[in-house]
Amino acid sequence: MAATPTPTPVEVYESGDAALRVVASSPDTEANWTTVHALAEWLEEAGADGVHGAVPTYDSLLVEFDPGVTSARQVRAFVLMGLRQLDFVGAPSRAPRTFEVPVVYGGEYGPDLERVAAHEQLSIQEVIALHTAKSYVIRCLGAPAGSPMMDGPDFPLPVPRLKDPRLSVPAGAVSVAGRQAVIAPAAAPGGWCVIGQTPLAVLDAASEPLVPYVPGDVVRFHQIQPEEFASFAGLKLEAAR
Amino acid sequence: MNGSLIIHQPGNSVVTDLGRFRGPRFGLPVNGALDQFSARAANILAANADNAPLLEVTALDFRMRATTDVLIAVTGAPLHLTVGGRECPQWEPVSVRAGETVALRRITGGLRAYVAVHGSVEAPVLLGSCAPDTVVGFGLRLSEGTELKTSRSVGPIRQPYFDLPLFRLGLTRPEFSSRVVVEVTDGPDVDEFGDTADLLYNTEYTVSGRSNHIGLRLGGALPERQSTAEVLSRGVPVGAIEVPSREELLVLHRGRGVTAGYPVLAVVTSRSLDVLAQARPGHTITFRKTTVPEATAQHRAALRELETLRSTVSTVFSLLGIGRQPGWPELVPAAGS
């Protein structure tokens, strides 16, 4: 993450008695993202009494706390202090790592690939080409189970969500919706369009923290054939060296 | 003395604690006991730390047998509790002799009961918590024959005269009803619902059978979002009230996905989340608006009540020698007598 040259405007909203929502509201979406992630890291480091942790996404941050120990008012003051400090010293920087993700597209692995192609008025090969063309920055960890949320491929149109969400999408599913892309670390219900599946294990429940990437890391997809799927069995998603 | 509890009839039960507070930043919900007050009370009554692993029994009958003498406490929804066939009180410590069966039957009025065992039980831990996570497939769900290791045995404590209950610790028990009022504060996106937000406070909602630890689905008149702009995924608090479909209101509970793209209309207070944890399908819910400072004050009042209980328990237990040495406790004469 690069240092923020100028302070990003931030608003703090009440979100019940045990959480606050912090929203960065600059027109520069990159600066917003940098700010909320830097603030999350600052809160983590500072480890204030009663603050459970922070969940940063794109332009917002959910700060959760124990209302028996601290209060919304105290946490708000603490967040504002963190922001002043970040304005002064700049956001920490960390070298991103790259994760190469093999994907079988279409068929039983990607039941919505044709639907997405039809909606985008592209051929299936063009959809795959666009999906594999880009280096994706992991913007945040989402549901379920630390899914890497990424800004989607450069499709002409946003991808609509499924009208009837699936009751279960398998682990490794590679999906798109709106202008976002994601890999499912664990099986869960889902309303995004599944265009492929990776054979790599994303989630490792025996390790902490569960998934190998952090926001700011980079993902690249490449196509493999269905007959290659089994040859990756048991392999984990790991950063490229 | 180590012993164990052997599950004979699991019903729908798990080992849990107060939650995985470090989970959300890694994309895992906090989970943990849905009725936090009842769970804390059970552990306090069993002279455990508030966050010690305990059993959460949901809706169905449950039976287990102890292999050593243990001390337990059962809280939460009203039910019929027997130990070795004797009827026993909830919200009080209860002695269980080796070989006796503990049975929880007819959970009514509410949905979830908590069973704490003095010395707690062993359970696997992920990110500092034993709370089950259905999404990553973690946790200890009880089945017939599951053996839970306990670390401390407590000899039988029986009032020698008329077999009256020994403990009357006087905790104000929560009320359980099929018509409950749930307090909420304005959500960060309340403005997106315009005037329709008021419907939340003027409607009787009915709990749907599709409710679970992730969220409660409520039928009734629905506020409507006025804007259609796509919302970027963001962290949503436990207690967030959303309107994801035209059919139902969704109230997120402790198993909620950490991020979502729906506007948050209102947020249930920590205190009322315990009330929701006990709402059964078919129960009626009305919402009342409060403020964050008031909700915080209420939460702290409940914690103070638990602190009072803790000091009472600690006084009584130290008189009985519980928590100090295993074996038969002896009543120690009070100082000066």
The pLDDT tens digits of the residues spanning B61-120 come to: 999 999 999 999 999 999 999 999 999 999 999 999 999 999 999 999 899 999 999 999
Report d(CA B248, CA B219) in Å as an integer.
5
Indicate if B119 and B199 belong to the same structural domain: no
Determine the average pLDDT of the residues in A211-222.
95
Q: Contacts of residue B257 in chain A, CB cutoff 8 Å?
A: 142-144
Q: For residue A180, what is the nearest residue in chain B, using CA coordinates? A: B232
First-residue to last-residue Cα distance in chain A: 20
Amino acid B158: pLDDT: 59
Q: Which of A171, A241, A168 is nearest to A205 (CA)?
A: A171
DSSP string, A71-90: -HHHHHHHHHHHHHHHHHH-
Chain B residues in contact with A25 by the CB 8 A cut-off are none
Residue B308 has pLDDT above 80, yes or no: yes
Please give the structure tokens belonging to residue B144: 């017939």
- Nearest residue on chain A to B127, alpha-carbon basis: A208
- Are residues B227 and B156 part of one domain? no
CB A221 within 8 A of CB A101: yes
The answer to whether residue B296 is domain-embedded is no
Q: A–B: how many Cβ contacts below 8 A?
A: 159
Cross-chain Cβ contact A16/B299 below 8 Å: no
Q: Is residue B171 located within the same domain as residue B184? A: no
Residues in chain A: 241
* Beta-carbon separation of A68 and B299 below 8 A: yes
Q: Find, among B203, B222, B192, B200, the residue nearest to B268 by Cα.
A: B200
Q: From the list A53, A158, A186, which residue is nearest B135 (CB)?
A: A186
Would residue B328 count as lying in a domain? no
Same domain, B186 and B127: no
List the domain boundaries for chain A: 10-89, 98-232
- How far B298 CA sits from the closest chain A CA (Å)? 10
pLDDT, averaged across chain A:
92
Instruction: Among B258, B269, B292, select the one facing A55 at the smallest CB separation.
Output: B258
Cα–Cα distance between A89 and B25 in angstroms, integer? 24
Closest CA–CA distance from residue A142 to any residue of chain B (Å): 5
Same domain flag for B87 and B99: yes
In the CATH scheme, what architecture does the domain A10-89 have? 2-Layer Sandwich (3.30)
For A183, residues 6+ apart whose C-beta sits below 8 A from its C-beta are: A101, A147, A148, A172, A173, A174, A175, A198, A202, A219
Please name the residue that has the structure tokens 């520069």: A28
Interface contact flag, A72 B137, Cβ < 8 Å: no
Same domain, B46 and B68: yes
Do residue B27 and residue A178 have CB atoms under 8 angstroms apart?
no
Shortest alpha-carbon distance between residue B173 and chain A (Å): 20
CB of B260 within 8 Å of any CB in chain A? yes
* DSSP assignment string, chain A: -PPPSSPPPEEEEE-SSSEEEEEE--S-HHHHHHHHHHHHHHHHHH--TTEEEEEE-SSEEEEEE-TTTS-HHHHHHHHHHHHHHHHHH-----PPPEEEEEEEESTTT-TTHHHHHHHHT--HHHHHHHHHHPPEEEEEEETTTTEEEEE----SSPBPPPSS-EEEE-TTEEEEEBTEEEE-SS-EEE-SEEEEE--SB---TTSTTSSS--TT-EEEEEEE-GGGGGGGTTPBP-B--
- The residue of chain B nearest to residue A212, with distances taken between CA atoms, is B26
- Judged by CB atoms closer than 8 Å, whether chains meet at B185 and A68 is answered as no
Q: Which of A82-86, A141-145, B309-313 has the lowest mean pLDDT?
A: A141-145
Going by the DSSP 8-state scheme, the letter that residue B196 receives in this structure is: G
Contact A19 B21 (CB under 8 A): no
Say whether residue B21 is in contact with chain A using an 8 A CB cutoff: yes
Residue type for B188, please? P
| Same-domain check for residues B77 and B224 | no
d(CA B239, CA B42): 23
Probe site for chain A from B51, B134, B136, B270 (most A CB atoms < 10 A): B136
Indicate whether B42 and B170 sit together in one domain. Answer: yes
Contact by Cβ (8 Å): B282, B59: no
Subunit contact B299:A17, Cβ cutoff 8 A? yes
Q: Which residues pair with A51 in a beta bridge?
A: A65
| B331 within some domain | no
Residue of B nearest to A14 (CA): B188
C-alpha distance from B109 to closest chain A C-alpha (Å): 27
Are B137 and A57 in contact (CB < 8 Å)? no
- Same-domain status, B205 and B151: no
Distance CA B336, CA A215 (A): 65
- Per-residue confidence at B245, pLDDT binned at 50, 70, 90? confident
pLDDT digits (tens, 9 = 90+) for B168-211: 666 778 889 999 999 999 999 999 999 999 999 999 999 999 99
Whether residue B259 and residue A68 make contact (CB cut-off 8 A), yes or no, is no
The runs of H, that is alpha helices, within chain A are 29-46, 72-89, 113-120, 124-133
Structure-block tokens of residue B207: 């709990």
Tell me the residue type at A184.
A
Q: How far is A138 from chain B (nearest CA, A)?
A: 13
Q: Which of B25, B133, B237 sits opposite A15 (nearest CB)?
A: B237
Residue type, B241: I
Q: Of B27, B135, B292, which is closest to A72 when you measure between CB atoms?
A: B292
Beta-strand relationship, B215-219 and B249-252: antiparallel
Residue B42, domain member (yes or no) = yes
Whether residue B206 is found in the same domain as residue B279: yes
**A149-171 pLDDT, tens digit each:** 999 899 999 998 888 888 889 99
3-state secondary structure of A206: coil
Could you identify the residue written with the tokens 């967030």? Answer: B240
Q: How many domains does chain B have?
A: 2
Please answer yes or no on whether B186 and A147 come within 8 Å at the CB atom.
Answer: no
- Interchain contact, A57 vs B127, CB within 8 Å: no
What percentage of chain B reaches a pLDDT higher than 90? 76
Contact B185 A143 (CB under 8 A): no
Mean pLDDT over the full length of chain B: 90
B329 domain-assigned? no
Which is more confident, B295 or B167? B295
Inter-chain CB proximity B296 and A71 less than 8 Å: yes
Tell me if B147 is assigned to some domain: yes
Helices and strands counted in chain A (H then E): 4, 13
B57-61, B103-107, B157-161: which range is least confident on average? B157-161
Residue B297 belongs to a domain: no
- Interatomic CA distance for residues B60 and B227, integer angstroms: 43
Q: Specify whether B133 is located in the same domain as B22.
A: yes
**B215 phi and psi, to 5 degrees?**
-170, 160
How many CB atoms neighbour CB B83 within 10 A?
18
Residues in chain B with CB shorter than 8 Å from the CB of A180 are 233
In the prediction, which pLDDT does A205 show? 79
| Six token digits for residue B253 | 């509970």
CATH number for the domain spanning B241: value is 2.40.100.10
Q: How confident is the model at residue B329 (pLDDT cuts 50, 70, 90)?
A: very low
B26 to A60: CB separation less than 8 angstroms, yes or no: no
Amino acid at residue number A132: T
Same domain, B236 and B116: no
Q: Rounded distance, CA B108 to CA B278, Å?
A: 10
User: How far apart are the CA of A48 and the nearest CA of chain B, in angstroms?
Assistant: 14
CA distance A190 to A165: 5
Closest Cα in chain B to A170: B135
| Interchain CB contact of B269 with A (< 8 Å) | yes
> CATH assignment of A98-232, given 3.20.20.10, 3.30.70.20, 2.40.100.10, 3.50.40.10?
2.40.100.10
Q: Which domain holds residue B108?
A: 3-175+304-320
Minimal Cβ distance to A15: which of B28, B136, B188: B188
Tell me which residue of B167, B34, B47 sits closest to B113, measured CA to CA.
Answer: B34
